[in-house]
């Protein structure tokens, strides 16, 4: 989810769900050791509970970055051992770390010793064509020995060669049964399942089988899914609607504008809010139109909502958009 789940995306998602634990995009240790720390770690208090996901393979560097995460107020530090991209492999972290469980254990132990907040691990069920359950079982067992008790398991193998990151989310088969086997074999550990879960019914079933469910791109493209799942579908917030979410985001945009944040940086995460609703296409078009966004302020958000909530006004919006492009 690099370049996706930034602080503005997370604030938006928090308006949809009070229950979900939000995760940052993966931040590498090098970025924090040599880059702009406030830029990468600052966030709004409304995002809590929020976890900082780190990418790295040096125990000392990870311990330092975990301390930074704790100092900045994060609720959890998560080590990424699941990303299969070549860029991550070149840095010797991400999914390729699963081949070195002793190193991962050292990294986790260093972070646990450095902070008082939970340290968790996100990983795959295997590497390349190795579909042996023993591989992931031994990985989890070794890392658990270092003190980690929470594992977020993407239920696909990571093919390190020959597949793009997108293909790695689609081609290796989903094997939820291996995650269930881990849960059975390690009953004292917490297992959160990830991968291929997008339909509310399937997510509801997963909640019954596992300790939690992580949703990535499905929640990004159809964010109202988070509202539907709040409280695992057992509760609903009185008065919550897409319009109330827009109102909350309008206030946020106003505050961020005073800090020099461009409207585009925030509304790009909101394009799927009206997914499946009448006039959703108008919403997406208005909030992604470079001409409309060029000098726009928060009023564009209100106009887009008006076009969706009251479709009869769409013809006027369409004409306005055309005139602005001329």
Active site residues: 83
Could you tell me how many helices (H) and strands (E) the chain has, helices first?
A: 18, 8
User: Both tokens of residue 266?
Assistant: 């925030």
* Three-state DSSP class for residue 261: coil
Nearest to 29 by CA among 67, 3, 72, 1: 67
84 CB-near residues (< 8 Å, 6+ apart): 94, 95, 124, 158, 159, 160, 163, 165, 168
SS3 33: helix
Distances (CA, A) of 173 to 126, 138, 158, 177, 185: 11, 21, 10, 11, 22
DSSP three-state, residue 165: helix
Question: Which of 89, 91, 94 is CA-nearest to residue 78?
Answer: 94
Tell me the β-bridge partners of 123.
Answer: 81, 153
The residue with tokens 């004409």 is 319
213 forms bridges with which residues in the sheet?
193
Residue 191, beta-bridge partner list: 151
Beta carbons within 8 Å of 193's beta carbon, 6+ residues apart = 153, 155, 176, 179, 206, 209, 210, 212, 213, 214
Q: Cα separation of 156 and 139, whole Å?
A: 15
């Amino acid at each position: 989810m690099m370049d996706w789940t930034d602080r503005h995306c997370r604030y938006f998602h928090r308006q949809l769900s009070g229950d979900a634990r939000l995760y940052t995009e993966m931040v590498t240790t090098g970025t924090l050791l040599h880059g702009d720390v406030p830029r990468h770690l600052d966030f709004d208090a409304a995002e809590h509970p929020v976890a900082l996901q780190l990418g790295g393979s040096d125990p000392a560097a990870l311990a330092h970055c975990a301390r930074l995460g704790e100092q900045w107020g994060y609720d959890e530090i998560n080590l990424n051992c699941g990303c299969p991209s070549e860029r991550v492999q070149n840095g010797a972290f991400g999914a390729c770390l699963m081949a070195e469980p002793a190193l991962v254990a050292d990294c986790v132990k260093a972070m646990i010793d450095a902070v008082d907040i939970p340290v968790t691990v996100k990983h795959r069920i295997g590497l390349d064509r190795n579909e042996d359950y023993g591989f992931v079982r031994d990985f989890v067992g070794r890392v658990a020995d270092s003190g980690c008790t929470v594992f977020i398991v993407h239920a696909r193998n990571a093919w390190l060669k020959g597949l793009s990151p997108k293909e790695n989310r689609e081609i290796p088969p989903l094997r939820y049964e291996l995650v269930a086997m881990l849960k059975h074999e390690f009953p004292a550990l917490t297992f959160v399942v990830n991968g291929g879960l997008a339909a509310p019914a399937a997510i509801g079933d997963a909640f019954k089988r596992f300790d939690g469910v992580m949703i990535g791109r499905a929640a990004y493209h159809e964010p109202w899914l988070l509202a539907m799942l709040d409280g695992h579908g057992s509760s609903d917030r009185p008065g919550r609607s897409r319009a109330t979410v827009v109102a909350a985001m309008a206030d946020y945009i106003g505050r961020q504008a005073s800090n020099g944040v461009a409207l585009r940086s925030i509304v790009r995460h909101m394009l799927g809010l009206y997914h499946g609703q009448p006039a959703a296409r108008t919403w997406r078009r208005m909030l992604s139109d470079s001409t409309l966004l060029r000098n726009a302020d928060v009023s564009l958000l209100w106009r887009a909502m008006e076009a969706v909530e009251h479709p009869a006004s769409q013809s006027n919006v369409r004409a306005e958009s055309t005139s602005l492009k001329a």
